[in-house]
Chain A
Amino acid sequence: MGTGDRQAKLDNSALEMIRSISDGSDDLLQQVIALFIESTPPLLQDIEAGLSNNEMDRLRVAAHTLKSSAANLGATDLCEMARRLEAAARAGSLSAELPSYAAVQDEFEAACRALEAGLNRATQ
């Protein structure tokens, strides 16, 4: 799904912040990115199920977690999508303007490509 090679725009200051925690090394950043790539697909499944079955709690919790992990890595667009989904789920009304599951999935993959590319650049 999606275009397959698009890289999401990242807020570099978030990544720098994480590097600073580990004294400028990328070890921590690598771990965090790995965790992001590993833990996000279950959240996306919850988001998909929540949207299609109107399970507001499931959607809210998954969107909330995605919101904060995306924010941590500077994936601002993904973070914004998750924020809108979480707010709608808390309000209990899903409208047509909400990002679709497919759009969130696509943005996640774009973010992953950008993070990996950034990491490779940094480690070269």
Chain B
Amino acid sequence: MNAEHRTPVALIVDDDAMMRLLIRQTLERAGFACHEAGNGREALGLVGSYSPDIILLDVVMPELDGYGTCEQLRLLPDTSHVPVIMLTGLDDNDSIDRAYQAGATDFISKPINWGVLGYRVRYVMRASHALRDVAKHQSSLETAQRIARVGGWEWGIQHNEHYWSTETYRILGLDPAQARPNVDAFLACVHEDERESTREAIMDLVKAGEFPARIIRVHRPDGGLRYVQVQAVATLDGSGTVTRLSGTIQDVTELQEAEQRIRYLAYYDGTTGLPNRQSFIEGLGKALGVAKRHHRQLGILALDLDQFKRVNDTLGHGVGNEVLIAAAQRLVATLRECDVIALPEQRLEGSEGVARLDGDEFSVLISDLNHYHDAAKVAHRLLDELRKPFKAGGQEVFLTASIGLALYPLDGDDTDSLMRNAGAAMHFAKEQGRDNYQFYSRAMNATALEKLSMESQLRKALERDEFLLHYQPKINASTRRIVGVEALIRWQHPELGMVPPSQFIPLAEETGLIVPIGEWVLRSACEQNFSWQRSGLPQMHVAVNISSPHFRQGLTGSIGEALRTSGLDPALLEVELTESMLMQNVETTLATLHEIKDMGVRLAIDDFGTGYSSLSYLKRFPLDALKIDRSFVKDLPRDPEDAAITKAIIAMAHSLRLQVVAEGVETQEQLAFLQQHGCDVLQGYLFSRPVTAEQFCALLHKDLALETVRA
């Protein structure tokens, strides 16, 4: 290809035979093969057959002179890039100008210095070849870029100069004649979702000179979305400042699409579109990593459709597949409703955590499980949903499933053991007669069932009016007369009997049932007190314990409602709040407390001393009373620490002008100690345990009689 590897060919065009002879002689000595033409026309006829590497052309010739010949040579494909040296008169500047205008590469003036002619000609030819090679490299580079879909770009930071190769424009779908190459023009092409992160990456690149190759989506003006891979290298100056960036941009759309397709084939089940076993195992692995770091629980459900083979056998595989697809969709929809999959990054891609492992075998991952009974709830819901008939092949198909549950960390801490144990639990569920779920840890089955049934019964308890209130009197420490009463909730279960609050209040708080239950307590206590007042009993306040969820969710409204419907004087209602409740969000708390106070209702702080209390906040809260926690009262007066704390609380409360109430008073010694140190009100078994409304009424009458006697 390179002309320098063979004998270069010169074409000598001159009408003067002597000149031709001398030039020929000179060039042959310089290693050229020479051909001669006596005039321009002859030369134009010869170039095709001789393919000269250089042409020496006399200017003054009859017929077609040197200028005309040169212009025509430039128009021929064979000679358009062949260097042409024109032989001009030394005294003739005009002819030199005209020679260049006609397309001459160089000129040699006459008389010719024969000693250097060979060198001149060779030099002109080499320079011309070098230029042609550069052009050829440039064009072959562009061709290579076009074939590889790689564009090149450069950015001179200091002067903000940009260069984009033709292919760069093509990849971005921009017209080089219209678009200005710069960062903003590039970012304008980038997909909105990635524009900011790309801008930041570019800024990092300018600052730090580092730019990991990244794949970016770009919009082309024709509406097409392409994936481009951008790579960059930075040139630094002596001080480490980035002065120049150069890089490539490559259209990798096909590659990306192929990867996605391969990924889909490798990770998804073709029938249902759910992730497959491989995908589930990888997703579970990732979720386990997250759960281990954040000390969270995971639930793995192995779900197998019961006797699915029968569907295939009786209705055919076509209908079987239809049912599988419908079942998969139902699983996905149910899990979405269950809202058990917490974080999107823990979710199996596009699946709500459900995968098809094989045939009629599915698996569900519940990441970020709060309680194991949440997993039971999910299993319960899935079984319920699958029991509903499927329509396939023009008829109704009935399905049930068996589910096994394994929990991380309880039942295993790697994917293998968790999946194996969930599978074992699923087989146990089959043995139990199908259409049920089983935990891998047997103990959980009983408690989960208990909890589930407890929850549904708790829901029904309100409707069935199974709650009732018991009342415990509050006694004036000095007069020993009843000055108030605390209302305490009880659940009269038709089968279990009286369920203590410790067994159902936590469940009520978990399920949110605590708020309607709290409303019921408020209303019932107010109604009861109003009814006592109506029957002529002495005025006293009824105290109601408020739960934390209720305090944060419309407590003021509930109190107003209870007072309105009952007709009770607000001054005869006291609400008891715990320290921890009040300290959660002090500003909101303060606002709520003032709203309640403004209604005329008494405020008491319950279980005082067990939580974290800030005296400065206590001072700001509009409280009426403070109840010392029973744990301090229990060992009075023998435990010196409790005695000191109790004395301190009483003194402090009095300095804040708060009434002090002691709970859990059971002995005469406790009574004596509390009386001695100025406690105002007492409550406890020493006086009365919590009793029914009727019993309390009787107590009041006795108390009244006592007063009459004393009087």
Q: What is the CA–CA distance of A64 and B22 in the complex, to the nearest angstrom? A: 17
Q: Choose one: B17, B61, B91, B110; the contact of A35 (CB below 8 Å).
A: B17
Whether A61 touches B114, Cβ cut-off 8 Å, given contacts A22-B25, A36-B18, A39-B17, is no
Q: Nearest B residue to A70 by beta-carbon distance?
A: B111
Residues of chain A with a CB closer than 8 A to B112's CB: 72
Q: Say whether B576 faces chain A, with CB atoms less than 8 Å apart.
A: no
> A28-50 CB contact bits vs B (8 Å, 1 = yes)?
10011001100100000000000
Residue of B nearest to A36 (CB): B18
A105 at the interface (CB under 8 A from B): no
Distance (whole angstroms) from the CB of B88 to the closest CB of chain A: 11
Q: Which A residues lie within 8 Å of B29 (CB)? A: 21
Interface residues of B in 44-60 (CB under 8 A from A): 60
The digit string for B13-36, where 1 denotes a CB below 8 A from any CB of A, is: 001111101100110010000000
Chain A residues with a Cβ closer than 8 Å to the other chain, count: 22
**Chain B CB within 8 A of A54 CB:** no
Give every chain B residue within 8 A of A72 (Cβ-Cβ).
Answer: 18-19, 22, 111-112
A69 touches B114 (CB 8 A): no
A65 touches B15 (CB 8 A): yes
Q: Which residue of A lies closest to B59 (CB)?
A: A64
B114 and A32 within 8 A (CB): no
Chain B min CB distance to A42 (Å): 11
Q: Are A68 and B16 in contact (CB under 8 A)?
A: yes
| A61 partner, pick from B22, B25, B62, B115, beta carbons under 8 A | B62
Given contacts A31-B21, A32-B21, A32-B22, contact A65 B16 (CB under 8 A): yes
The reply to whether the CB of A100 lies closer than 8 angstroms to some CB of chain B is no
**Is there a chain B Cβ closer than 8 Å to A88's Cβ?**
no
Query: Contacts A18-B22, A21-B22, A61-B60 hold; do A68 and B114 have CB atoms under 8 A apart?
Result: no
Using Cβ atoms and an 8 Å threshold, which residues of chain A touch B89? Answer: 64, 67
A69 contact from B18, B25, B26, B61, Cβ within 8 A:
B18
Asked if A119 is at the interface of the complex by the 8 Å CB criterion, the answer is no
How many angstroms between the C-alpha atoms of A61 and B61 in the bound complex?
A: 7
Name the contact of A71 in the complex, choosing from B15, B62, B111, B115 (C-beta under 8 A): B111
A27 to chain B, nearest CB (A): 10
Chain A residues 91-113 with CB under 8 Å of chain B are none
Docked pose: A123 CA to B110 CA in angstroms: 29
Do B18 and A17 have beta carbons less than 8 Å apart?
Answer: no
User: Which B84-101 residues have C-beta < 8 A from chain A?
Assistant: 89, 91
A12 located at the interface, meaning its Cβ lies under 8 Å from any Cβ of chain B in the complex:
no
Asked whether, in the complex, the Cβ of A35 is within 8 Å of the Cβ of B21, the reply is yes
- Taking CB atoms, residues of chain B closer than 8 Å to A83 are 91
Assess the A21–B26 pair: CB atoms within 8 A. yes
Contacts of A31 in B (CB 8 A): 21
Measured between alpha carbons, how far is A63 from B114 in the docked complex, in Å? Answer: 22
CB of A69 within 8 A of CB of B60, answer: no
How far apart sit A60 and B19, CA to CA, in the bound complex (Å)? 17
CB distance from B39 to the nearest CB of A (A): 11
Question: What residues of A have a CB within 8 angstroms of the CB of B25 in the complex?
Answer: 21-22, 28
Residues in chain B near residue A21, CB distance under 8 A? 22, 25-26, 29, 114
A47 to B576, CA, bound (A): 135
Listed from nearest, the 6 A-B pairs whose CB atoms lie closest are A71-B111, A35-B18, A64-B60, A69-B18, A17-B114, A65-B16
* Interface set of B (CB-CB < 8 Å, partner A): 15-19, 21-22, 25-26, 29, 60-62, 89, 91, 110-115
Q: What are 27 A-to-B residue pairs whose CB atoms are below 8 Å?
A: A17-B113, A17-B114, A17-B115, A18-B114, A21-B25, A21-B26, A21-B114, A22-B25, A28-B21, A28-B22, A35-B18, A39-B18, A60-B60, A61-B62, A64-B60, A64-B89, A65-B15, A67-B89, A68-B19, A68-B111, A69-B18, A71-B110, A71-B111, A72-B18, A72-B19, A72-B22, A83-B91
Residues of A within 8 A of B (CB): 14, 17-18, 20-22, 28, 31-32, 35-36, 39, 60-61, 64-65, 67-69, 71-72, 83
Known: A20-B115, A68-B16. 16 other contacts (CB 8 A): A14-B111, A17-B114, A22-B25, A31-B21, A32-B22, A35-B17, A39-B17, A61-B61, A65-B15, A67-B89, A68-B19, A68-B110, A69-B19, A71-B110, A72-B112, A83-B91
